[in-house]
Amino acid sequence: MRLSTRSRYSIRALLDILMNGGGVRPVPLSKVAERQEVSEKYLEQLFIILKKAHIVKAARGVKGGYILAKRPEEIYLGDILRLTELDVTPVKCTECDRMDRCICKVCWDNLGKIITNFIDSITLSDINQMSITMDERKGPIEDLTTIELKEEIKRLKRERDAVILVHNYQRPEIQEIADYLGDSLALSRLASKLPQSIIVFCGVKFMAESAKVLSPEKTVLLPRLDAGCPMADMITAEELKEMKKEYPKAKVVCYVNTSADVKAESDICCTSANAVKAVKSLKSKRIIFVPDKNLANYVAEQTKKEIISWHGYCYVHEFITLSDIKEQKRLHPDARVMVHPETRPEVVKVADYVLGTMGMVNLAKKSIIKEFIVGTEEGLVHRLGKENPGKKFYLPSRKPICSNMKKTHLEDLYYSLRDLKFKIEIDKTIIKKAKRALKKMIAIK
Ligand code: 13P
Ligand code: SF4
């Protein structure tokens, strides 16, 4: 088997679509081609094949593009290879006069079976996980040891009058160097109060944007400009405007996991920690809740309001399945289940606690319970384990990993402070409007 660029670009493009919201919304092929540095025409040819095989679906029109036709766990590497390569026979024994008696043929045949089993067991979801591990850096930059690198970060931070805010899902070494470690609500609140002139936000883009909206006079840095949130990209301000036209009397609650443009079109923002309170704080009976369909569903169950939801979702939480949780319950019968409200409704239903990340941190600390099954991104378990040495925390067998949250390494943080990059810039009118929605959220008691 010789693998060509056809399978390589098919895999990269499918992964790109997965990472850019293509689970629910069409991703334009032109954008994929741009990001993958390949011609759109070439991708078009590959996508005709993938479409015929029901791996992707096409959507026409201005909002056209491609969407995954199956869940990433159902898209197998073997199928992609068989579709895109001319010959996928793993190992071929060259003809010889002893074919029927040659032990090498038996070996090569067995090797072939192992390779076939391997490619038929790897899914797009597995490839996504592999890409995260691959992103591990080789080692500290410029001959610095990790300890020296950390010292340099601290020195630069003092010199520049900067503060480092870190979300609970970040890598352990980034969590360790935080001035403040927290959930999106706590970090948003802090951003508006801190005295430092520079905020370095180790998280994803919408978080750094929220900090900039709340403190426009400050320099807000996001060490990795490509650390986005696919769920936040699942709704645009234009789409929300259309929804508002459809339901003119409804008020809009938007999850902080949205762009500043979407926040600017909303009446109030919320995080997973205060979504129910945010909805209840509005007089209107009819509420547009964007973009997370799972959080919207949870909120609808906790309030008497009519919730009109959008079809966004977090791919990390969406892939935590009921059978995953049941399996963990079977393995750890004494453990209690705590899940993030971004998980699916059937998962939320079996959970003992439905909490945002800080809610989980607080529960683990205060409770007498010794074992927990944790239905959220794996980064939180580092913090939980460190702060509760006597307790045990179990993740679903397929670890939920947010690849965007894992993009920031110590090196990125170092360069961010050294070169003041990447600065978050937002249009002044958007800041003004988005600030109103964020401030209302912060005012909720
Ligand atoms: P928290 O608001 O609970 O910190 O979660 C943020 C997030 O991105 C969840 O996926
Ligand atoms: Fe977005 Fe999900 Fe990652 Fe949170 S965990 S940043 S919602 S993709």
Question: Would you say the CB of residue 188 lies under 6 angstroms from ligand 1?
Answer: no
Question: Which of 134, 168, 196 corresponds to the end of one domain?
Answer: 134
Q: In the predicted model, is pLDDT for residue 138 greater than 60? A: no
- Residue 195 preceded by cis peptide, ω within 30: no
Contact between 1 and 90 (Cβ < 8 Å): yes
pLDDT-based confidence at 140, cuts 50/70/90? low
Question: Would you say the CB of residue 376 lies under 6 angstroms from ligand 1?
Answer: no
Extended beta strands in 117-275, E state:
162-167, 180-182, 198-202, 219-221, 251-255, 268-270
pLDDT of residue 134: 65
Question: Do residues 71 and 94 share a domain?
Answer: yes
Question: Do residues 75 and 10 share a domain?
Answer: yes
Question: Do residues 35 and 114 share a domain?
Answer: yes
pLDDT > 90: percent of the chain: 73
Residues ≥6 apart with Cβ < 8 Å to 101: none
Question: Would you say the CB of residue 356 lies under 6 angstroms from ligand 1?
Answer: yes
The number of the ligand 2 atom at minimal distance from the alpha carbon of 231 is: 1
pLDDT-based confidence at 132, cuts 50/70/90? low
Residue 184: which of 246, 93, 256, 233 has the closest Cα?
256
Whole-angstrom distance, CA of residue 13 vs CA of residue 29: 9
Q: Kindly state the helix (H) or strand (E) to which residue 375 belongs, with its residue range.
A: strand 371-375
Model confidence over 72-126: pLDDT tens digits?
Answer: 888 999 999 999 988 878 777 777 777 677 787 788 888 888 888 888 989 998 8
Question: Which of 87, 111, 134 corresponds to the end of one domain?
Answer: 134
Question: Do residues 309 and 322 share a domain?
Answer: no
Residue with tokens 């129910």: 276
What is the CA 45 to chain-centroid distance, rounded? 29
What integer is the mean pLDDT of 377-387?
97
Residue 337: which of 400, 275, 394 has the closest Cα?
394
Question: Would you say the CB of residue 208 lies under 6 angstroms from ligand 2?
Answer: no
Q: Is the pTM of this model over 0.85?
A: no
**Domain total for the chain?**
4
Question: Do residues 107 and 35 share a domain?
Answer: yes
Residues ≥6 apart with Cβ < 8 Å to 178: 164, 165, 166, 170, 202
Distance 314 CA to ligand 2 centre (A): 6
Question: Would you say the CB of residue 355 lies under 6 angstroms from ligand 2?
Answer: no
Q: Would residue 434 count as lying in a domain?
A: no
Residue-range definition of the domain harbouring residue 96: 5-134
Q: What is the CATH number of the domain that holds 218?
A: 3.40.50.10800
Distance 405 CA to ligand 2 centre (A): 7
Q: In the predicted model, is pLDDT for residue 307 greater than 80? A: yes
Whole-angstrom distance, CA of residue 365 vs CA of residue 363: 5
Q: What is the CATH number of the domain that holds 66?
A: 1.10.10.10
What integer is the mean pLDDT of 248-253?
97
CA nearest ligand 2 atom 3, residue: 402
Q: Would residue 118 count as lying in a domain?
A: yes
Question: Do residues 130 and 59 share a domain?
Answer: yes
Question: Do residues 258 and 163 share a domain?
Answer: no
* CA torsion angle 52 53 55 60 (round to 10): 10
Question: Do residues 9 and 130 share a domain?
Answer: yes
Question: Do residues 117 and 24 share a domain?
Answer: yes
Model confidence over 3-39: pLDDT tens digits?
Answer: 889 999 999 999 999 887 777 678 999 989 998 889 9
Question: Which of 97, 112, 134 corresponds to the end of one domain?
Answer: 134
Whole-angstrom distance, CA of residue 270 vs CA of residue 168: 18
Question: Do residues 274 and 327 share a domain?
Answer: no
Question: Would you say the CB of residue 318 lies under 6 angstroms from ligand 1?
Answer: no
**For a substitution probing ligand 2, which of 128, 210, 235, 257 has the most ligand atoms within 8 Å of its CB?**
257
Question: Would you say the CB of residue 321 lies under 6 angstroms from ligand 1?
Answer: no
Whole-angstrom distance, CA of residue 67 vs CA of residue 54: 11
Question: Do residues 335 and 356 share a domain?
Answer: yes
The number of the ligand 1 atom at minimal distance from the alpha carbon of 340 is: 3
Contact between 408 and 241 (Cβ < 8 Å): no
pLDDT of residue 142: 64
Q: pLDDT: is 88 or 142 the higher one? A: 88
**Apex CA 13: angle with CA 8 and CA 14, to 5°?**
100
Which ligand approaches the C-alpha of residue 188 most closely? 1
Q: pLDDT: is 108 or 142 the higher one? A: 108
pLDDT of residue 92: 74
pLDDT-based confidence at 133, cuts 50/70/90? low
Contact between 206 and 256 (Cβ < 8 Å): yes
pLDDT of residue 173: 95
Question: Do residues 185 and 260 share a domain?
Answer: no
The number of the ligand 2 atom at minimal distance from the alpha carbon of 402 is: 3
